[in-house]
Amino acid sequence: MLDAIATTRMQRSRGAASVRLGPRGLLDLAQSGSAKAMLPRMTAGLPEIVFLNTAGGLASGDRLDYRVGLTPGTRALATTQTAERAYRAKDAPARVTLHLAVGEGGWLDWLPQETILYDGARLRRETTVDLAPGAGCLLLEPIVLGRIAMGETIRHLHLSDRRIVRQDGRVIHHDALALDDAALSRLHRPAMLGEARAMASLALIAPHGPDLLEPVRAALDEPGVTAAASAPPGRLVVRLLARDGWPLRRQIMRLLRVLRPDPLPRIWQV
């Protein structure tokens, strides 16, 4: 009896959802396991794709895959229904892959809600964006370390998070974040996170990105948020730090109003 209990394997969650859109609407939708994709009726702005993980979070060994494909000339927004939670993991990390492909002259806003990392979480995530010539994208990735409202302190963590953007097969943007127990012990230093426990990276990949640098810097005025913006060729990159997720979200919403002409995702409305 004890041997049977000892050898019982925990159930792992698997999910995959893929959406393909053209200028006239949905071309293909596939979903399996815990991953779902919803397309709310468009009332203004871009068509929206809302991804949902029905497992309620990510635990050790879970696998989640999201995919978006836009044909030439198609514009769309993709987001998540709620914050994603990565729970304590004793064994293998949870793995999340996102593949976003934008056809020639198309545009995609990838604006997920926060990823909340619990103490002891293990998460490996990779976002790959393939842009055809003349295509562009806006990429957001907000992260919160621990359940701040509950006073949780993160002492153990393994995070590997990469975002790779290719255009016409050439890498034009590579953003990586890695955190482990050793890094956590140094995060309180002023040169790193200091007292911040919420962070976000925002990247606009478009020829007009550098032109928005000054308006973006002027909008970085949310109390409790430390931020900086830079404009490498063909890109605009913003980094944000805050003590908790609420001022971070307010600052992100203000930035999105500067960076994009369309309304915020309806699911983001607060």
266 token code pair: 């309806």
- With respect to residue 4, please indicate whether it lies within any of the assigned structural domains: no
- With respect to residue 2, please indicate whether it lies within any of the assigned structural domains: no
- With respect to residue 28, please indicate whether it lies within any of the assigned structural domains: yes
182 token code pair: 């050793």
34 token code pair: 């815990």
- How close are the terminal C-alpha atoms of the chain, in Å? 52
CA distances to 73, 206, 210, 259 from 234, rounded to whole Å, are 19, 5, 7, 14
- With respect to residue 95, please indicate whether it lies within any of the assigned structural domains: yes
| pLDDT in the model for residue 8 | 46
- With respect to residue 40, please indicate whether it lies within any of the assigned structural domains: yes
pLDDT by 10s per residue, the chain, length 270: 444 444 445 568 899 999 999 999 999 999 999 999 999 877 667 899 999 999 989 999 999 999 999 999 999 999 999 999 999 988 899 999 999 999 999 999 999 999 999 999 999 999 999 999 999 999 999 999 987 666 677 888 899 999 999 999 999 999 999 988 887 777 666 546 667 789 999 999 998 888 999 999 999 999 999 999 999 999 999 999 998 889 999 999 999 999 998 888 888 765
Closest CA to 239 of 214, 220, 258: 220
| pLDDT in the model for residue 3 | 45
Cross-strand pairs, 94: 123
CA distances to 101, 112, 131, 135, 213 from 168, rounded to whole Å, are 11, 25, 6, 10, 25
Total structural domains in the chain?
1
* In contact, 201 and 176? CB cutoff 8 Å: no
Q: Model-level pTM?
A: 0.91
206 token code pair: 């478009």
- With respect to residue 113, please indicate whether it lies within any of the assigned structural domains: yes
Output the furthest CA–CA distance in the chain (Å, rounded).
68
* In contact, 179 and 141? CB cutoff 8 Å: no
Q: Which domain holds residue 243?
A: 13-268
CA distances to 58, 159, 170, 245, 261 from 117, rounded to whole Å, are 10, 9, 32, 12, 32
Kindly give the pairing relationship between strand 121-131 and strand 157-167. parallel
